[in-house]
Structure 1
Amino acid sequence: MACSDELPDTNQQENNGHGCDLRGRVWKALLGIYRISALEYVTLVQRGLSPVAEKIQNDTFRTLMTDRAFQDRVSNEMLTRILNAFVWKAHDQPPSRLMNLRFSYVQGMNVLAAPFLYVLPELDAFFAFSSFIQNSCPLYVQPALEGVHCGLKLLDRCVEEIDPDLFKYLQSKQLTAKVYAFPSVMTFSVCTPPLDQALHLWDFFLAYGVHLNILCIVAQLLNMRDDLMNNQRLKSVISPMKLLRSFPDLDAGTILATTQTLIPRLPEDLYDMLVRHTFDPIVCDMLLQEPDADVRG
């Protein structure tokens, strides 16, 4: 269902602190959230501002500023509470035994918290967000954003594999993924409106893996391909960078339909790296030691 049929829109009345709607319940199940503790969350909140509170406050007020529905539903105070509480929770935990990772607040986490606060009551959102960060994409939220940079490298590789002509054209304009796709990779596409379509993408990511965001970005590029290539043929005054600076509004149904056709077109080893890059330091170390696409070209 999360793959082919969009879950019903989050209901404002049901997401008022008294319960979860269907999407919220599905997200919690997919994230393995079967227990929440109001006492734990309240205790963390009562500790007040975290050591990185200033960084948090500098970001929260900018979160999805142009989305009226989000602004009406999620307050700056809610975002600030959940992010400071997460920092305190992470501060109390020992590093991961397997990966020696520690967690705090890094750039972009405010946007990653946004969908959870929009879909779930604040208490549920805190535990869902914490699980997502620590289990789904731990390498995306390390201080150097290693996972994000690996995702950008993999995006270039996927474009090169799936559409060599488009890849060569973008490369000829020095348009590697790190130039045009950093926000989309870092936020798992939440940075591109409208939010209701981003939530549909997240239904898919939570069900089948957040690594699929990379292929969803490739799908968006393929849907823009004619405009980009016609730009070259007609020598349009609109630069390809201008076209890529702001992706067209999300159409989740079209993006997911295209994405599902891309998966079998990738070599097995490339897809394996794609799956593992959000959480496996070995894959990240290997990718980060390799030259970027523009250097390879």
Structure 2
Amino acid sequence: MSSLTGEQQRPVRQTLAALSKDDWYAPPPVVNGRSVDAVMEWNELLEARHTAEMQLDAPATIAPERLHAAVENGVPDALRPQIWLRFSGAERRIRESPNLYAEIQQRISMGGVPGFASAAEQIEKDLRRTDLSSDDSAALDALRRVLAACACFDAKTSYVQGMNFIASGLLHVLPEEGAFWMLVLVVQRWLPDHFIESMSGNNVDCAVLDELVAEQTPKLHAKLAALQVGTQLLTARWFLCLFSSVVSPSALLRLWDLLFVCGPQSTFHAALGCMRVLESRLLCSSDMGTALALARDGLWRCADAQSVEALLRGCVACARACVLGAAELSSRRQRARVRLLIEAQRLEAARVLLRVQRASGLAVADVRALAALSLGDDGVLRAADLDVGWIQIGVQRDAFAQIVAALVPHWSAHSPLLPLLFEVFRTRVVMPGLPSDAAAEADAQRDETRDDAPVLSFLRLVSGLGWLLRGSSARRAELCFHCFDREGCGAVTRADFIAVLCYIYALYEDLGASPLRNAHAHATRVAERVQAEATRFVDMMFELWDEEGVGLLSRARFDRAAHQHPLLVQTFQLEQLDSPQVRQPLSAAPAAPTQPQTTSSTRVTSAADRTPKACVKSRTTTTSSTSAAIVQSPLLKIRDDYFSEDVRRL
């Protein structure tokens, strides 16, 4: 072996001399004491959680404050999959059903469950909308399998947009089977009923969050109320994607550490923490659009390590300040669900009532006055009835008689015609603002709750009064026919014609106002005279129109006969022309004419020879004490607006 000469050794010496001591010996790795402590702490927590599960103890055996401190210090990346699976309960699901995911995949390869085709089609549309790269075919295939398995696992929920973002974030940390079970638990426990068709769970949780924001940040809540920005407008998307589409990926991992370790109630702590981050900018917002833009894009600025740490510390601080256990969360959700149900019933009742009001021709103020009188004595409203909405208000026969007697001049609350009209309203009046099946269902609910006496739905009352007060000539004629067709056979018999006509005569004959000492004998003679006059008129009408001699008048023939009797014309306003297409409210109704209308006066005079003189004289309607209170109510104005002076003079 030849040795190097001096000239050859010189470059080697220079190179060795230039090297420092650090270049000769590699330095040992720097040990981060905080990281070591975090790993040790999380290993102890994992062991404690495993022991609690094996002993079937409650998960609350670990103090929440210890979990909050561990999450705030950070979750080691190497332990994050195990921590998520164990603390969320997914690991236990996998242990209990080790082959379920593979069985679902096999079922999918054979066509899936009924209705899976539409879910699979929607999944394919949403695959490219996630944050995954379109070139990563393996990641797309994994996401497709996880979403398809979730759709088959729960056929009721199936697949809904928003699950793809959650599953995509889970797949960045967990294997397929773990991501599947975590997604199932998120849908079932963290976001219950958020992904069903009605999204009732999202509405409930947004209402709970609004309540928490009012308690924790009243100034921010007042600002949002001033901007008319509901909490649901700001945060509905936060819940539906579990923050995955509103925060940066680095911040999402830290938020999910808090959610999956501390339980479903931490979802609200995370939302409160996000509201804290946006609070200063939301307080400076000048309009709704600015506030919504901040809620949508403002959290993406928390991307650097310092901002992420600040966001997490804020969420943990909210968890410490707002102690929200599982029992309290369930109670808050139940209260919010009741409030939302009542509000939904009120809105639906208001929509239905508005449709019926428009179809009936009555003004909104008139409908409200009728509702006030229908709900309680002398217009006293009962909160219990208002909570269920006007659609379930029921009007009993006595109240109906008093309302109609107060509305229509010369109609007595004690007239036999009003019970007959009550049954016509109850069974034959069509409610144009409500489908027939919904109307029948509403009536059935009222009949079940009040079996002591028949009850008229408030919607049918409004519709029937619309026929009587604002209806067209055809509607009034139809109402008149229904009153005389007591048997509901589509024709009027001689006996029914005579009986109902006597009821109408009695409306205009004061049987109790007799100067004689024997008032009963006077009333009997008047009743006999009314019966004879009614029989004479009916016999004449049947002689004219019952050409076949069958003892029945069809609808068309009865209409001709009814228009020839002045009291039928007056009672049902058959001479009134069709209402204009654009109806004005009652407050804008034209003033009553000072002179009688020529048409009405002529028609009444031309037929006066067929009617007893006592039947056309004016009298004062007698009312009970309750009816007297109604006459002094807003219905008095309704009556004056609907009936002109030339009609009230008779």
TM-score normalized by the length of structure 1: 0.74
Q: Which residue of 1 aligns with 2:150?
A: 86
The change in CA–CA distance for 1:274 and 1:200 in structure 2 (over 3 A counts) is: farther
The change in CA–CA distance for 1:48 and 1:7 in structure 2 (over 3 A counts) is: farther
Counterpart code for 1:138: P
Determine whether 1:162 maps to 2:216. Answer: yes
Q: In structure 2, what is the Cα distance between the partners aligned to 1:277 and 1:47?
A: 43
Determine whether 1:245 maps to 2:296. Answer: yes
Counterpart code for 1:28: L
Deviations 1:233-257 (A, max 9, x none): xxx9x93333333122344432332
Q: In structure 1, what is the Cα distance between the partners aligned to 2:148 and 2:140?
A: 12
Q: In structure 2, what is the Cα distance between the partners aligned to 1:48 and 1:5?
A: 47
Q: Which residue of 2 aligns with 1:171?
A: 225
Counterpart code for 2:341: Q
Q: In structure 2, what is the Cα distance between the partners aligned to 1:271 and 1:287?
A: 21
Q: Which residue of 2 aligns with 1:98?
A: none
Q: Which residue of 2 aligns with 1:6?
A: 74
Q: In structure 2, what is the Cα distance between the partners aligned to 1:114 and 1:277?
A: 32
Q: Which residue of 2 aligns with 1:181?
A: 235
How do residues 187-206 of structure 1 correspond to structure 2 at under 5 angstroms?
187-206=241-260
Q: In structure 1, what is the Cα distance between the partners aligned to 2:188 and 2:219?
A: 38
Say which is worse superposed, 137-146 or 37-46, in terms of deviation.
37-46
The change in CA–CA distance for 1:131 and 1:261 in structure 2 (over 3 A counts) is: closer
Deviations 1:143-178 (A, max 9, x none): 222221112112211111112111111111111122
The change in CA–CA distance for 1:77 and 1:277 in structure 2 (over 3 A counts) is: farther
- Structure 2: unaligned runs, 5 residues or longer: 1-41, 43-69, 348-650
Q: In structure 1, what is the Cα distance between the partners aligned to 2:137 and 2:105?
A: 21
- CA deviation after TM superposition for structure 1 residue 287, in Å: 4.5
How do residues 133-152 of structure 1 correspond to structure 2 at under 5 angstroms?
133-152=187-206
Counterpart code for 2:296: R
Counterpart code for 2:313: A
Q: In structure 2, what is the Cα distance between the partners aligned to 1:277 and 1:88?
A: 31
Q: Which residue of 2 aligns with 1:44?
A: 107
The change in CA–CA distance for 1:189 and 1:290 in structure 2 (over 3 A counts) is: farther
Q: In structure 2, what is the Cα distance between the partners aligned to 1:244 and 1:134?
A: 26
RMSD: 3.3
Instruction: Check whether the contact 2:150–2:180 (CA below 8 A) recurs between aligned residues.
Output: yes
Q: Which residue of 2 aligns with 1:18?
A: none
Deviations 1:229-279 (A, max 9, x none): 3445xxx9x93333333122344432332233334544x7x866773389x
Q: Which residue of 1 aligns with 2:338?
A: 286
Q: In structure 1, what is the Cα distance between the partners aligned to 2:167 and 2:138?
A: 11
Q: In structure 2, what is the Cα distance between the partners aligned to 1:197 and 1:72?
A: 23
Instruction: Check whether the contact 2:143–2:167 (CA below 8 A) recurs between aligned residues.
Output: yes
Say which is worse superposed, 247-256 or 185-194, in terms of deviation.
247-256
Q: In structure 2, what is the Cα distance between the partners aligned to 1:23 and 1:215?
A: 20
Counterpart code for 1:56: I
Q: Secondary structure at the match of 2:158?
A: coil
Q: Secondary structure at the match of 2:298?
A: coil
Q: In structure 1, what is the Cα distance between the partners aligned to 2:335 and 2:135?
A: 38
Q: In structure 2, what is the Cα distance between the partners aligned to 1:115 and 1:222?
A: 24
Instruction: Check whether the contact 2:105–2:145 (CA below 8 A) recurs between aligned residues.
Output: no
Determine whether 1:258 maps to 2:321. Answer: no
Instruction: Check whether the contact 1:158–1:215 (CA below 8 A) recurs between aligned residues.
Output: no
- CA deviation after TM superposition for structure 1 residue 62, in Å: 0.8
The change in CA–CA distance for 1:186 and 1:229 in structure 2 (over 3 A counts) is: same
Q: In structure 1, what is the Cα distance between the partners aligned to 2:106 and 2:252?
A: 32
The change in CA–CA distance for 1:31 and 1:239 in structure 2 (over 3 A counts) is: closer
2:281 to 227, 235, 251: 227
Q: Which has the larger radius of gyration?
A: 2
- CA deviation after TM superposition for structure 1 residue 119, in Å: 0.9
Q: Which residue of 2 aligns with 1:212?
A: 266
Q: In structure 2, what is the Cα distance between the partners aligned to 1:262 and 1:58?
A: 38
Q: In structure 2, what is the Cα distance between the partners aligned to 1:272 and 1:171?
A: 29
Instruction: Check whether the contact 1:190–1:198 (CA below 8 A) recurs between aligned residues.
Output: yes
2:123 to 49, 56, 61: 56
Q: In structure 2, what is the Cα distance between the partners aligned to 1:209 and 1:177?
A: 22
Instruction: Check whether the contact 2:206–2:231 (CA below 8 A) recurs between aligned residues.
Output: yes
Instruction: Check whether the contact 1:44–1:85 (CA below 8 A) recurs between aligned residues.
Output: no
Q: Secondary structure at the match of 1:79?
A: helix
Q: In structure 1, what is the Cα distance between the partners aligned to 2:260 and 2:145?
A: 24
Instruction: Check whether the contact 1:153–1:287 (CA below 8 A) recurs between aligned residues.
Output: no
Q: In structure 2, what is the Cα distance between the partners aligned to 1:218 and 1:142?
A: 25
The change in CA–CA distance for 1:130 and 1:221 in structure 2 (over 3 A counts) is: closer
Counterpart code for 1:286: V
Counterpart code for 2:295: L
Q: Secondary structure at the match of 1:140?
A: coil
How do residues 112-127 of structure 1 correspond to structure 2 at under 5 angstroms?
112-127=166-181
Q: In structure 1, what is the Cα distance between the partners aligned to 2:342 and 2:208?
A: 11
TM-score normalized by the length of structure 2: 0.36
- CA deviation after TM superposition for structure 1 residue 217, in Å: 2.1
Q: Secondary structure at the match of 2:292?
A: helix
Q: In structure 2, what is the Cα distance between the partners aligned to 1:185 and 1:277?
A: 19
Q: In structure 2, what is the Cα distance between the partners aligned to 1:275 and 1:183?
A: 20
Say which is worse superposed, 151-160 or 240-249, in terms of deviation.
240-249
The change in CA–CA distance for 1:286 and 1:80 in structure 2 (over 3 A counts) is: same
Instruction: Check whether the contact 1:30–1:206 (CA below 8 A) recurs between aligned residues.
Output: yes
The change in CA–CA distance for 1:173 and 1:158 in structure 2 (over 3 A counts) is: same
- Structure 1: unaligned runs, 5 residues or longer: 10-20, 92-101
